[in-house]
Amino acid sequence: MKRFQRVKTFSANSIAEQFEIDRGVAVRALRSTKPDATVSGKPQWRIATAAKALEKHRAKNGGISNSESGGGKSLSTQRARLANAQATKAEFQNALARGDYVNVNVMRRFVEVANRAFHWRAKWLTR
């Protein structure tokens, strides 16, 4: 005689954790989906059912929602942008330490002095 294993079902909060999405997004995605089980009077869904509901929800809303990813970009895109910004900042700090960049005020003063000297010399030569 074969024993059947009970299929695990999860609440909307547990599904949000499983899929690493905002709980509100999980609740909205599952709102119109019939629950696979009810435990203690609360609806629960199988992972497969929740995945289909989330896919349908994303398709309806044109992709990942703003509340889910903070501005409509995927988490991996946000991480890549952050890593790029950190690398750019590190390169700039290294260039400053090497002396590749000069303070704007120092450069402005240098140009003013050089400009005055040039004009004074040009006046002196035309006399």
Task: Give the 3-state secondary structure of the chain.
Answer: CCCCCCCCCECHHHHHHHHCCCHHHHHHHHCCCCCCEEECCEEEECHHHHHHHHHHHHHHCCCCCHHHHCCCCCHHHHHHHHHHHHHHHHHHHHHHHHCCCCCHHHHHHHHHHHHHHHHHHHHHHCC
CB 25, CB 55: distance < 8 Å: no
pLDDT at 70 over 80: no
Q: How far apart are alpha carbons 34 and 108 in whole angstroms?
A: 70
| The domain defined by 7-72 carries CATH number 3.20.14 | no
Domain ranges of the chain: 7-72, 78-127
User: Mean pLDDT over residues 81-110, rounded?
Assistant: 86
pLDDT at 20 over 80: yes
Q: Tell me which range, 18-22, 69-73, 75-79, is most confidently predicted by mean pLDDT.
A: 18-22
